[in-house]
Structure 1
Amino acid sequence: MIVPILFVAIFPESARAYIDPGSGSYILQIVIAGLLGASFTVKLYWKKIRSLFSNKKKKVNENPNEKSETS
Protein backbone atom coordinates (compact mmCIF):
# COMPACT_ATOMS: atom_id res chain seq x y z
CA MET A 1 0.00 0.00 0.00
CA ILE A 2 2.86 2.37 0.76
CA VAL A 3 4.68 1.67 -2.52
CA PRO A 4 1.84 2.86 -4.79
CA ILE A 5 1.34 5.97 -2.66
CA LEU A 6 5.05 6.78 -2.85
CA PHE A 7 5.04 6.11 -6.60
CA VAL A 8 2.17 8.56 -7.12
CA ALA A 9 3.83 11.13 -4.86
CA ILE A 10 7.21 10.87 -6.62
CA PHE A 11 5.91 10.76 -10.21
CA PRO A 12 2.80 12.94 -10.32
CA GLU A 13 1.00 13.54 -13.59
CA SER A 14 -0.63 16.83 -14.38
CA ALA A 15 -4.37 16.76 -13.83
CA ARG A 16 -6.58 18.13 -16.54
CA ALA A 17 -9.48 19.02 -14.30
CA TYR A 18 -11.01 21.97 -12.57
CA ILE A 19 -13.40 22.63 -9.72
CA ASP A 20 -16.58 24.15 -11.05
CA PRO A 21 -18.50 26.77 -9.04
CA GLY A 22 -21.05 24.18 -7.89
CA SER A 23 -18.36 22.02 -6.32
CA GLY A 24 -16.69 25.03 -4.75
CA SER A 25 -19.93 26.20 -3.15
CA TYR A 26 -20.62 22.65 -1.93
CA ILE A 27 -17.21 22.53 -0.24
CA LEU A 28 -17.90 25.95 1.29
CA GLN A 29 -21.24 24.68 2.64
CA ILE A 30 -19.54 21.66 4.21
CA VAL A 31 -16.94 23.87 5.91
CA ILE A 32 -19.57 26.29 7.23
CA ALA A 33 -21.78 23.43 8.47
CA GLY A 34 -18.80 21.85 10.24
CA LEU A 35 -17.90 25.12 11.96
CA LEU A 36 -21.48 25.76 13.03
CA GLY A 37 -21.86 22.19 14.29
CA ALA A 38 -18.63 22.43 16.28
CA SER A 39 -19.62 25.78 17.79
CA PHE A 40 -23.06 24.44 18.74
CA THR A 41 -21.46 21.40 20.40
CA VAL A 42 -19.06 23.58 22.38
CA LYS A 43 -21.96 25.83 23.42
CA LEU A 44 -24.00 22.80 24.49
CA TYR A 45 -21.23 21.34 26.66
CA TRP A 46 -19.60 24.64 27.73
CA LYS A 47 -20.24 24.20 31.48
CA LYS A 48 -18.79 20.68 31.45
CA ILE A 49 -15.74 21.80 29.46
CA ARG A 50 -15.23 24.79 31.75
CA SER A 51 -15.54 22.69 34.91
CA LEU A 52 -13.04 20.21 33.48
CA PHE A 53 -10.37 22.91 33.30
CA SER A 54 -11.47 24.74 36.44
CA ASN A 55 -9.62 24.32 39.74
CA LYS A 56 -12.69 25.07 41.82
CA LYS A 57 -14.36 22.18 43.56
CA LYS A 58 -18.07 21.85 44.17
CA LYS A 59 -19.34 22.65 47.63
CA VAL A 60 -20.37 19.59 49.60
CA ASN A 61 -23.62 19.79 51.52
CA GLU A 62 -22.76 20.41 55.18
CA ASN A 63 -25.68 18.41 56.57
CA PRO A 64 -25.85 15.00 54.84
CA ASN A 65 -29.36 14.33 56.22
CA GLU A 66 -30.86 17.21 54.23
CA LYS A 67 -32.31 16.36 50.86
CA SER A 68 -31.13 18.39 47.93
CA GLU A 69 -33.60 20.44 45.93
CA THR A 70 -33.18 18.28 42.84
CA SER A 71 -34.18 14.97 44.47
Structure 2
Amino acid sequence: MVVLELKGNFYMGILFLFMLLLALSTGSAQAYIDPGTGSYFLQFLIAGLFGSLFFLKQALSQGKKLIRSPFKFIKKQSSKTDNEVK
Protein backbone atom coordinates (compact mmCIF):
# COMPACT_ATOMS: atom_id res chain seq x y z
CA MET A 1 0.00 0.00 0.00
CA VAL A 2 2.80 2.42 0.92
CA VAL A 3 4.67 1.52 -2.26
CA LEU A 4 1.63 2.49 -4.34
CA GLU A 5 1.40 5.83 -2.54
CA LEU A 6 5.08 6.54 -3.18
CA LYS A 7 4.71 5.65 -6.84
CA GLY A 8 1.67 7.94 -7.10
CA ASN A 9 3.60 10.86 -5.61
CA PHE A 10 6.55 10.12 -7.89
CA TYR A 11 4.36 10.10 -10.99
CA MET A 12 2.60 13.29 -9.91
CA GLY A 13 6.00 14.96 -9.53
CA ILE A 14 7.08 13.83 -12.99
CA LEU A 15 3.78 15.04 -14.45
CA PHE A 16 4.16 18.41 -12.73
CA LEU A 17 7.69 18.86 -14.05
CA PHE A 18 6.58 17.88 -17.56
CA MET A 19 3.70 20.38 -17.51
CA LEU A 20 5.99 23.10 -16.14
CA LEU A 21 8.58 22.52 -18.85
CA LEU A 22 5.86 22.44 -21.50
CA ALA A 23 4.44 25.76 -20.29
CA LEU A 24 7.85 27.42 -20.18
CA SER A 25 8.92 26.20 -23.61
CA THR A 26 6.02 27.62 -25.62
CA GLY A 27 6.56 30.59 -27.88
CA SER A 28 4.20 33.45 -28.59
CA ALA A 29 0.79 32.36 -29.83
CA GLN A 30 0.06 35.29 -32.17
CA ALA A 31 -3.61 35.08 -31.19
CA TYR A 32 -6.27 37.47 -30.00
CA ILE A 33 -9.46 37.36 -28.00
CA ASP A 34 -12.39 38.59 -30.02
CA PRO A 35 -14.99 40.94 -28.43
CA GLY A 36 -17.67 38.24 -28.44
CA THR A 37 -15.62 36.18 -26.00
CA GLY A 38 -15.34 39.09 -23.58
CA SER A 39 -19.06 39.77 -23.59
CA TYR A 40 -19.79 36.06 -23.13
CA PHE A 41 -17.42 35.95 -20.15
CA LEU A 42 -19.06 39.06 -18.64
CA GLN A 43 -22.50 37.49 -19.09
CA PHE A 44 -21.23 34.32 -17.41
CA LEU A 45 -19.93 36.31 -14.42
CA ILE A 46 -23.18 38.27 -14.01
CA ALA A 47 -25.27 35.09 -14.21
CA GLY A 48 -23.03 33.46 -11.61
CA LEU A 49 -23.39 36.45 -9.30
CA PHE A 50 -27.18 36.51 -9.51
CA GLY A 51 -27.37 32.72 -9.21
CA SER A 52 -25.26 32.87 -6.05
CA LEU A 53 -27.41 35.62 -4.58
CA PHE A 54 -30.58 33.64 -5.29
CA PHE A 55 -29.07 30.53 -3.70
CA LEU A 56 -28.08 32.48 -0.57
CA LYS A 57 -31.55 34.02 -0.34
CA GLN A 58 -33.20 30.60 -0.55
CA ALA A 59 -30.79 29.06 1.96
CA LEU A 60 -31.33 31.90 4.45
CA SER A 61 -35.12 31.70 4.17
CA GLN A 62 -35.04 27.93 4.71
CA GLY A 63 -32.75 28.44 7.70
CA LYS A 64 -35.10 31.02 9.19
CA LYS A 65 -38.06 28.66 8.74
CA LEU A 66 -36.14 25.85 10.40
CA ILE A 67 -35.22 28.02 13.38
CA ARG A 68 -38.67 29.58 13.78
CA SER A 69 -40.73 26.39 13.41
CA PRO A 70 -40.20 25.03 16.98
CA PHE A 71 -41.12 28.41 18.44
CA LYS A 72 -44.34 28.55 16.41
CA PHE A 73 -45.25 25.08 17.67
CA ILE A 74 -44.66 26.17 21.29
CA LYS A 75 -46.67 29.36 20.74
CA LYS A 76 -49.62 27.40 19.27
CA GLN A 77 -49.55 24.96 22.18
CA SER A 78 -49.52 27.78 24.74
CA SER A 79 -52.41 29.59 23.02
CA LYS A 80 -54.45 26.36 23.02
CA THR A 81 -53.91 25.88 26.75
CA ASP A 82 -54.82 29.54 27.39
CA ASN A 83 -58.11 29.09 25.49
CA GLU A 84 -58.93 25.90 27.40
CA VAL A 85 -58.39 27.61 30.77
CA LYS A 86 -60.81 30.45 29.96
Per the normalisation by structure 2, the TM-score is: 0.51
Alpha-carbon separation, structure 2, partners of 1:18 and 1:2: 28
Q: CA-atom RMSD, angstroms?
A: 3.1
Task: Give the match for residue 27 of structure 1.
Answer: 41
Structure 1 residue 46: Cα displacement: 1.5
Alpha-carbon separation, structure 2, partners of 1:49 and 1:19: 44
Structure 1 consecutive aligned stretches of length 4 or more whose deviation exceeds 3 Å: 47-50, 58-63
Q: Which of 45, 61, 64 is the equivalent residue of 2:74?
A: 61
Alpha-carbon separation, structure 2, partners of 1:9 and 1:43: 42
Quickly say closer, same or farther: Cα 1:4–1:46, change in 2 above 3 A: same
Q: Which has the higher helix share?
A: 2
Structure 1 residue 11: Cα displacement: 2.5
Aligned residues: 61
What amino acid is the match of 2:74?
N
Is 1:9 paired with 2:1? no
What is the CA deviation profile of residues 11-34 of structure 1, one whole-angstrom value per residue up to 9, with x for unaligned ones? 232121111011111111111111
